[in-house]
């Protein structure tokens, strides 16, 4: 027999994803979510403190799934650029799987409560950490510091947000080489960055 709690969880998640697309999280109320999901408030309150707590739980699941896929994608990739490239394609391919998930993770999280914003910042910093590993690849005493990685990460993420907001995630993976160029350039210069423009995507379900 189906687990009633699992069915309820599925309805809540689907309702949240749909309503965030339709209304935006900032305009959503708990009553609207419960009505769409056909879940009673008493049952919801036994498990979640409020709407922000539920949003944060869903967001944590989404980010966890992405990092699980990213971990699988970098298996066997020993070089910094290879690991960063594999992570970039894994991120795009995951977000393209459900653009409602992409919107919640990349856009709506910034309009949610403190817990969700904390998760968003933690996730962003994990990606910045990966970019920052390029400092070890740069030669000389003036190798870029973390501020450079933050700047590059901000540019890359702004492009992801734009693609999500404008429904461009399904257009393909042709922008990743340009984003990799921008990420590699501060560390390896033009020659190393230009190699990214000629590097094919790793194997994957949408390659």
What is the spatial distance between Cα 41 and Cα 31, in angstroms, rounded to a whole number? 8
Count of structural domains, the chain: 2
Query: Do 9 and 106 lie in a common domain?
Result: no
Query: Do 114 and 162 lie in a common domain?
Result: yes
Query: Do 115 and 181 lie in a common domain?
Result: yes
Contacts of 55 (CB under 8 A, 6+ apart): 16, 25, 108, 112, 113, 116
Q: Is residue 205 part of a domain?
A: no
Q: Render each residue's pLDDT in the chain as its tens digit; 207 residues.
A: 557 788 899 999 999 999 999 999 999 999 999 999 999 999 899 899 999 999 999 999 999 999 999 999 999 888 999 999 999 999 988 988 898 999 999 999 988 999 999 999 999 999 999 999 999 888 667 788 899 999 999 998 898 888 888 887 765 678 899 999 999 999 999 999 999 999 988 876 544
Residue for token pair 């390659």:
207
The number of angstroms, rounded, from the C-alpha of 26 to the middle of its chain's C-alpha atoms is: 19
CATH number of the domain that residue 19 is part of: 1.10.10
Query: Do 93 and 191 lie in a common domain?
Result: yes
Query: Do 39 and 76 lie in a common domain?
Result: no
């Amino acid at each position: 027999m189906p687990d009633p709690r699992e069915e309820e969880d599925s309805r809540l998640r689907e309702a949240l994803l749909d309503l965030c697309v339709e209304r935006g999280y900032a305009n959503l109320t708990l009553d609207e979510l419960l009505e769409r999901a056909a879940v009673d408030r008493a049952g919801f309150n036994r498990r979640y403190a409020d709407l922000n707590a539920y949003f944060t739980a869903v967001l944590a699941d989404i980010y966890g799934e992405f990092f699980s896929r990213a971990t699988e994608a970098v298996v066997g990739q020993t070089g910094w650029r290879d690991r960063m490239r594999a992570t970039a394609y894994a991120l795009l391919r995951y977000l393209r799987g459900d653009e409602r998930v992409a919107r919640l993770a990349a856009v709506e999280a910034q309009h949610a409560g403190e817990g969700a914003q904390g998760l968003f910042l933690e996730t962003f910093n994990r990606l910045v950490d990966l970019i920052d590993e390029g400092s070890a690849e740069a030669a000389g005493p003036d190798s870029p510091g973390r501020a450079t990685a933050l700047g590059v990460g901000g540019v890359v993420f702004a492009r992801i947000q734009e693609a999500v907001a404008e429904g461009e995630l399904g257009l393909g993976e042709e922008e990743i080489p340009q984003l990799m160029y921008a990420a590699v350039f501060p560390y390896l210069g033009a020659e190393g960055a230009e190699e990214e423009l000629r590097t094919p995507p790793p194997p994957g379900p949408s390659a």
